[in-house]
Structure 1
């Protein structure tokens, strides 16, 4: 070890007595300064920031200073390593090493140690930007950036080992530099080659060196990638030692090749074994653990035990979602599941590609006077598809029924004989892939009863299959929306009370805006359902009191005559905006912050409710109107009237009224839960899409149905907010940083290099 350190000190002194080493460090610093100083003036202006540490250094979609410098790090090593051994060979001093008591392995390790020290200087240069950011960003995420810097150091070290080996192959330093450039460039870009071919995809990806560092840059340190870089470094150092040793002994070609093959085989075995999922150790260095699934998802996977999960992605080549799941993107699609594979290694991933019609295609083919087959051939030529790589429509239909999926890419999850769909989402959704909430809901559906929400269809009630303003598809049954209940774990169904019995195993029956009175038989079914403990939602509308009140009599609730109205400068008087009441927090504690913020809902056309206390049910208001600005308006009125006034003679009544109530009672086996609303619009398509005021309608409606599933769905995957969400930058501090990083620091580096080189020359 002493000799290795002595050789390293000598080699390091030679590096820093060379102007190239200093020039490369200054060039790297200036390259990073250009991006860094261009970004900080925008930060000084302030705004709603989050994850500033990540965005500045490791987010490729933002500034991502460290991630973007990875693509050019390979340019800095060849000029440093080009003479590290070729100099010894060209001057003949290598022969002295052969005859000296110093082992060749010690020489190689000493020179590699010198390169490690030089790499640390490069990391120190990069750390100057980290230091500046840490000063002006409170709660800077240091562990995350330390892992990112470590990843960059591992990459530089692997580059150095390769450079040393190439340097041992030639007597010419220029040839060594060019050869190292070529080899490192090859290993930088080989990962993009053949990614659409199953045969070579994994091989070329495994040779791509920066991609592994990029993964760790995200803050997830893992043993697989660390061992990979160590194995690559060790393999090329072993190549170098072998090459030097074979120079002074006579061996047959077969013996020489065999030795290199053994080194490669050992390196491949190490990387293969360490890349097996059960063998990988992880450390998520980010403050919010953003690279790790939440405790909720971890518990779901733990409950699933050792039984495997099969995930089959069905991709229609004729639909736009195909371009997010092409074979060329297979590696990145697999990486999406790594956070789940970390806790359940036996998730089996499969992909099935097919072609079939999509909505609107049939009309287009007819207009073009083409048959289906002719149209597919035409589209395949335009998109450069080989149709032989895709299953035909009749072939895919033998495997699975995808008729209700709009032709989009969809994943089918299978577990213990059960199956469910996990969908992708089109624009304007920017994420495309299902998030942890949707994935958790799909996994949970595979191992426990699924809450079934049933909507009554009698009396011209609101539809769950239409996109009209007054219908309910957006909340309940829109497969293209991640926020829809069907994608959050619920099953949605309908029933005609006049013609069918109410199922006993449903989560809740929803009666939304009945316009025709129920028959005696239907009311008897409903009463039986309530008596037996069934959960219920009844949402009525003003003017329908005669239809709704007979359904509420047994519950001790009544829709009061008239319509709730509210003074407003900008909106119609019948648009009421009640705030959350204390009962909403009792229903779902997650509504507590919104209750404190006095968040509002929009209710266009709503009736007030009255209730009797001391009955069979405990009753609590979910919402309350404003006492000063709202009142019950009796009789007919024009919503576009210039100014509505309280008319006491007509029976108008001012005050704070509950437009929605929650009822509950404890039965032997469960708690029965009921919600009554004087408005059927608050979870309609129109109100969920309202953009002219900030409302809580969608979230509140989803919390209601979560209450009916007893908290099982939707799956909550909340994470803490980032702490690094502000800066202390001012215009003057930005100027100071620009002066330091554009002039002072590179100037000091230049002067230090010049002084060392001049002193060396004088000696």
Structure 2
């Protein structure tokens, strides 16, 4: 070990007695300056939404200065390693090494250690920028950045080992530098080669080093990637030692090739075994564990036991969603499931490609007078696909029923004979793939009985299947909407109270805006359902109190005459924006932050509710109108340019009124849950997509249905908010930072290098 250290010290002295090492460090500082310093003024604007450590340093989609430097790191090593061995062979000093008592392995290890020290200096330069970030970001995520710096160090070390090997292949330093450039460039970009070919994809990806570094920089420290870099470094050092040893030994070409092959075999075996899922150890260094599925997701996978899960993607080559899961995207597709592989390795992924016409094709073919076969041929040319690798409609129908999925990419999950769909989402959804909430809901549906929400259809009620402004398809039954209840784990159905009995064991019955009085028979069914402890939601509209109130009699709730109007400069007076009441937080603790912020729910045309405090149910208001800006207006009124005023003569009432109530009681050892709302629009298609004010209609609606399912669905995939969500950086403090990094640091490195080189020349 002493000889190795002596060789490392000698190599370092040679390295820093040349201008290249100093010049490259100065170039690195300048390059980091160009990435880091221009973004500082933007951080002082105060428009930060958390995860600042990641945004500034590791997220390539944001600022990600450490992530972006990865693209250029391979340019630094070749100029350092180009002479590390070739210098010995060109000068003839290699012969002295052959005859000296020092082993060749000690020489190579010593030279490699000198490179590790230089790599640490590079990490030190990067750390200067990290320290500045830690200074102006309170609650800086140190573990995450330490793992990121470790990843960069491992990558640089692997580059150094490759550079040392290439340097041993030639006596010319320039050739060694160029060859190392080429080899590292290949290792950087080989991961993009042949990704659409099954037999090449895994091989080229396994040789791609930056892709592994990206995973580590994201904060997920894992044994597979760390061992991989150790293996690469060890293999190329072993190649170098073998190369030098074989130069002084008389071996046949076959024997030499066999030795190299043995080293390669050992390295690949170690890399393969360490990459098997049961062998991988993980540490998520991020403060909020963003690389790890939540405790809820982990519990779902744990409850599934040892039985395998089969996930089959059905990809239509004629739909635009094909490009998100084409063979070229297979590696990225698999990586999305890695957080789940950690806790359940036997998730088996399959891909089935087929071709089918997309919605609207039939009318298009009629207009263009085009045959279906011509359409298929044309689409295959446009999409650049080989139909020989795709199933047709009849063939895929033998495997799965995709009717109703709009010919889009969809995943079928199969477990113990049960199946369910996991869908993808088109624009305007900004994320194509399902998130953890949707994935968790699909997995949970395989092990529990999904809660069923049943919408009553009598009395011309709002429809769960229509896309009209006042209907409910977006929330209830839209397969292309991420927040739709069917994509959050619920089953949706409908029932006519006049013709059919109310189904048993449902999560809730929804009666939304009945416009015709129920018959005595329908009322009897409803009263029986309530008496037996069934969960219920009744949403009425002003002007229909005479229809709604008879349904509410047994609940001790009534809908008051009149409409609540709200004074507003920008909006119509009948657009009410009640605030959350404490009862909403009792219904769902996730609403606590919205309650504390005073956020609102939009209710166009809402009535007021009254209730009996000592009735059969415990009652809590969920939403309350604002007593200062709104009042209950009686009688008819006209919404025009004239502002409405309180008319006490005609019975107008000022005050704060509940517009939604939560009712509970114990029936048959179960808590019965009922919600009454004096507005049926707040979860309609229009209100869920309102964009002219900030509302929480979607969150509030989801909380209601989560309450009805006794917190089973939607699956809670929430995480604690990040603490690094603010900066102390001011415009005044940017100038000193710029002086430090633009002038002092590179100037100091330049002066140190000059002093050392001048002293060396004098000696």
TM-score class normalised by the smaller sequence: over 0.9
Please state how far the C-alpha of 1:655 moved relative to its aligned partner.
Answer: 2.4
Please state how far the C-alpha of 1:563 moved relative to its aligned partner.
Answer: 2.2
Aligned to 1:761: 761
| Structure 2 SS opposite 1:538 | strand
Please state how far the C-alpha of 1:102 moved relative to its aligned partner.
Answer: 0.8
Please state how far the C-alpha of 1:589 moved relative to its aligned partner.
Answer: 2.4
Instruction: Give per-residue Cα distances to partners, 1:434-456, cap 9 Å, x unaligned.
Output: 11111111111110110100000
Q: Distance in 2 between matches of 1:81 and 1:630?
A: 76
Aligned to 1:103: 103
Q: Distance in 1 between matches of 2:363 and 2:161?
A: 61
Q: Distance in 1 between matches of 2:304 and 2:759?
A: 69
| Structure 2 SS opposite 1:649 | coil
Please state how far the C-alpha of 1:641 moved relative to its aligned partner.
Answer: 6.1
Please state how far the C-alpha of 1:279 moved relative to its aligned partner.
Answer: 0.4
Aligned to 1:225: 225
Please state how far the C-alpha of 1:274 moved relative to its aligned partner.
Answer: 0.1
Instruction: Give per-residue Cα distances to partners, 1:566-614, cap 9 Å, x unaligned.
Output: 3333332222222222222222222233333332222222222222232
Q: Distance in 2 between matches of 1:584 and 1:276?
A: 47
Does the alignment pair 1:552 with 2:586?
no
Aligned to 1:43: 43
| Structure 2 SS opposite 1:310 | strand
Instruction: Give per-residue Cα distances to partners, 1:260-310, cap 9 Å, x unaligned.
Output: 111011001100000000100111111111111111111111111111111
Q: Distance in 2 between matches of 1:475 and 1:755?
A: 71
For the 8 Å contact 1:355–1:390, the answer to whether it is kept is yes
Aligned to 1:303: 303
Instruction: Give per-residue Cα distances to partners, 1:461-483, cap 9 Å, x unaligned.
Output: 00111111111111111111111
| Structure 2 SS opposite 1:199 | helix
Q: Distance in 2 between matches of 1:178 and 1:35?
A: 27
Instruction: Give per-residue Cα distances to partners, 1:196-238, cap 9 Å, x unaligned.
Output: 1111100000111111111111011110001001001101111
Q: Distance in 2 between matches of 1:33 and 1:641?
A: 58
Residues 1:46 and 1:596: Cα distance change in structure 2 (over 3 Å): closer
1:210-609 correspondence runs (5 A) = 210-609=210-609
Q: Distance in 1 between matches of 2:229 and 2:397?
A: 46
Q: Distance in 1 between matches of 2:578 and 2:63?
A: 43
Q: Distance in 1 between matches of 2:374 and 2:670?
A: 59
Q: Distance in 1 between matches of 2:58 and 2:756?
A: 35
Does the alignment pair 1:5 with 2:5?
yes
Structure 2 stretches of 5 or more lacking a match?
A: none
RMSD after superposition = 1.4
Please state how far the C-alpha of 1:661 moved relative to its aligned partner.
Answer: 1.5
| Structure 2 SS opposite 1:153 | helix
Q: Distance in 1 between matches of 2:82 and 2:537?
A: 77
Instruction: Give per-residue Cα distances to partners, 1:393-416, cap 9 Å, x unaligned.
Output: 111111111111112111111111
Aligned to 1:181: 181
| Structure 2 SS opposite 1:75 | coil
Please state how far the C-alpha of 1:49 moved relative to its aligned partner.
Answer: 4.0
Q: Distance in 1 between matches of 2:629 and 2:162?
A: 76
Please state how far the C-alpha of 1:496 moved relative to its aligned partner.
Answer: 0.9
Residues matched between the structures, number? 763
Instruction: Give per-residue Cα distances to partners, 1:84-129, cap 9 Å, x unaligned.
Output: 1111111111111111111111111111111111111111122221
Instruction: Give per-residue Cα distances to partners, 1:117-146, cap 9 Å, x unaligned.
Output: 111111112222112222222222111111
Aligned to 1:75: 75
| Structure 2 SS opposite 1:659 | strand
Report the TM-score, using the length of structure 1 for normalisation: 0.98
Aligned to 2:16: 16
Deviation larger for 248-257 or 347-356: 248-257
For the 8 Å contact 1:44–1:734, the answer to whether it is kept is no
For the 8 Å contact 2:318–2:383, the answer to whether it is kept is no
Report the TM-score, using the length of structure 2 for normalisation: 0.98
Q: Distance in 1 between matches of 2:643 and 2:422?
A: 51
| Structure 2 SS opposite 1:313 | strand
Instruction: Give per-residue Cα distances to partners, 1:663-684, cap 9 Å, x unaligned.
Output: 1111223111111111111111
Deviation larger for 681-690 or 332-341: 681-690
Q: Distance in 2 between matches of 1:525 and 1:171?
A: 94
Q: Distance in 2 between matches of 1:512 and 1:104?
A: 83
Please state how far the C-alpha of 1:555 moved relative to its aligned partner.
Answer: 1.7
